[in-house]
Amino acid sequence: MATDSKRKLSYRGGMFLLLALLIIALICGFIIHHFSVVSSLAVSKHTDEGTFVLIICVAIVATIISLVLSVRLNRNIRNLSQIAEAMENGADIESMPEFSRDELGDLSRQFIDLYRRLRHASSEAEREHDNAMHEQQEKLRIKRQLTNNINHELKTPVAAIQGYLETIITNPDMTEEERHSFIEKCYTHSQRLTQLLTDVSTITRMEDGSNRIECQDVDLRAIINEIRDDIALLGDDKRMRVHLDLPEPMIVRGNSSLLISIFKNLTDNAIAYSGGRDIYIKAAESDGGMYTITLADNGIGIDDDHIGHIFERFYRIDAGRSRKLGGTGLGLSIVKNAVLFHGGNIEVNNRKVGGLEFRFTLPMVENRA
């Protein structure tokens, strides 16, 4: 406040000094003119009086103009001083002060506009930095969570294998049938470990090395037909009928192994958990150069409370049943990440007629002549 008062006094002092100088100049002009009149009175008295009156009028007009200009200058400088103080404190300038339409006013408005653009650019940079930091922290959190979940998931099969092997070693009199049964159980748990490591490797590859994953034109019909043939070879307790409704040809741009994992995990999920007997796979061309694909079953579906979580890593509706069937808890997470990697979207819903339906998009390659 003290600084503002000093500035205002200095501006007003300059204005009054200018006015005083004009008055002094007027007085000096009057004195000079007076002596000039006395010395040349005999020559032209009337002409000198007219000249004197003209000088007085010009001086008064000049004084008024100078006063008006000094007031305008004082107002511009005062407004600019307030703006400069706000800029120094980093404050936002909500409204433009009123500046006179002169060079100083135009320059002041340009400074304010430049400051606003700099503030906007700075805010955008800070926002992008905060988003980047949040994204990085979120990735670190997800990686820590993934590591913790992997450690937890590894404990069960490793402990089981260790227990079976210890039993075999410490019981040399065990019958051949019991020993063979324990070895088969060890093999089953080792397969689960292998699948878990494979799934973790797939997710890590998509997240950390997506730019190094090769993409090419892939025949999606061939992939789906191969999976259908594999399902037909399953035992009676697992075999499901696969119904296809696909366009011809059906070429997508992507990575073959990731595309296989999408349909393999979805069909395996239906076989293991749906309780149904049929799988329906349908595809159609949609706007934007994408295929819209639905994969559904006629099983029991799942509760709506679980719908929003089934793509989460290691999320299980029935943890005990999932582990018993050999699931790693990463299959549907791989599906979602693979679809997103290819630029598509995926959603899941319970069918009105029963069962679960996955709807997702994949980029198609237009027919070539």
What does the pLDDT look like over 152-170, one tens digit per residue?
A: 667 767 888 888 888 889 8
What does the pLDDT look like over 290-317, one tens digit per residue?
A: 899 999 999 988 888 888 888 887 776 6
| Whether 357 and 219 share a structural domain | yes
Rg (CA), the chain: 43
> Residue 274 has what DSSP assignment?
T
pLDDT score for 297: 93
The values of phi and psi at residue 168, to 5°, are -65, -45
Whether 82 is covered by a domain: the verdict is yes
Strand ranges for 154-265 from DSSP E: 216-219, 241-245, 251-254
> What is the mean pLDDT of the segment spanning 238-252?
89
Can you tell me the distance from the alpha carbon of 257 to that of 203, in angstroms, rounded to the nearest whole number?
A: 12
pLDDT score for 23: 67
User: Which of 164 and 51 is assigned the larger pLDDT?
Assistant: 164
Whether 115 is covered by a domain: the verdict is no
pLDDT score for 9: 40
| Whether 76 and 156 share a structural domain | no
Residue where one domain finishes, among candidates 208, 237, 264: 208
- Residue 203's CATH number: 1.10.287.130
The values of phi and psi at residue 327, to 5°, are -75, 145
pLDDT score for 115: 74
Q: Are 282 and 345 in contact (CB under 8 A)?
A: no
Can you tell me the distance from the alpha carbon of 331 to that of 271, in angstroms, rounded to the nearest whole number?
A: 13
Can you tell me the distance from the alpha carbon of 306 to that of 315, in angstroms, rounded to the nearest whole number?
A: 9
Whether 314 is covered by a domain: the verdict is yes
Query: Over pLDDT 90: what percentage of the chain?
Result: 12
Is residue 40 pLDDT above 70, yes or no?
A: no
Whether 123 is covered by a domain: the verdict is no
What does the pLDDT look like over 217-230, one tens digit per residue?
A: 999 999 999 989 88
Q: Are 80 and 108 in contact (CB under 8 A)?
A: yes
Is residue 26 pLDDT above 70, yes or no?
A: no
Which residue, chain included where needed, has tokens 């190094």?
212
Residue 29 makes CB contacts below 8 A (sequence gap 6+) with 55, 59
Least confident span in 34-43, 69-78, 198-207, 346-355: 34-43
| Whether 22 and 81 share a structural domain | yes
Whether 369 is covered by a domain: the verdict is no
User: HSE of 325 in the Cβ direction (CA atoms, 13 Å)?
Assistant: 17
Residue 251 makes CB contacts below 8 A (sequence gap 6+) with 217, 218, 219, 220, 364, 365
Whether 107 is covered by a domain: the verdict is no
**Which range marks the domain in which residue 58 is found?**
2-100
| Whether 155 and 293 share a structural domain | no
| Whether 227 and 344 share a structural domain | yes
Environment class of 128 (CB within 10 Å of its CB; exposed 0-12, middle 13-18, buried 19+) = exposed
Confidence band (pLDDT; 50, 70, 90) for 1?
Answer: very low
Q: Side chain identity at 153, as an amino acid letter?
A: E
| Whether 184 and 304 share a structural domain | no
Confidence band (pLDDT; 50, 70, 90) for 210?
Answer: low
User: Which of 88 and 251 is assigned the larger pLDDT?
Assistant: 251
Can you tell me the distance from the alpha carbon of 321 to that of 302, in angstroms, rounded to the nearest whole number?
A: 14
pLDDT score for 329: 73
| Whether 73 and 178 share a structural domain | no
pLDDT score for 274: 84
Tokens read off for 338: 């693979």
Residue where one domain finishes, among candidates 100, 128, 163: 100
| Whether 203 and 226 share a structural domain | no
User: Which of 27 and 306 is assigned the larger pLDDT?
Assistant: 306
Whether 14 is covered by a domain: the verdict is yes
Residue where one domain finishes, among candidates 33, 67, 100: 100
| Whether 253 and 268 share a structural domain | yes
pLDDT score for 369: 44
pTM of the predicted structure, to 2 decimals = 0.54
| Whether 256 and 271 share a structural domain | yes
| Whether 319 and 226 share a structural domain | yes
Residue 98: name the closest of 82, 75, 116 by CA.
Answer: 75
Whether 136 is covered by a domain: the verdict is no
Determine the straight-line distance between the first and last CA of the chain, rounded to whole angstroms.
80
> What is the mean pLDDT of the segment spanning 320-325?
49
pLDDT score for 280: 94
| Whether 95 and 155 share a structural domain | no
- Residue 269's CATH number: 3.30.565.10
Domain count, the chain: 3
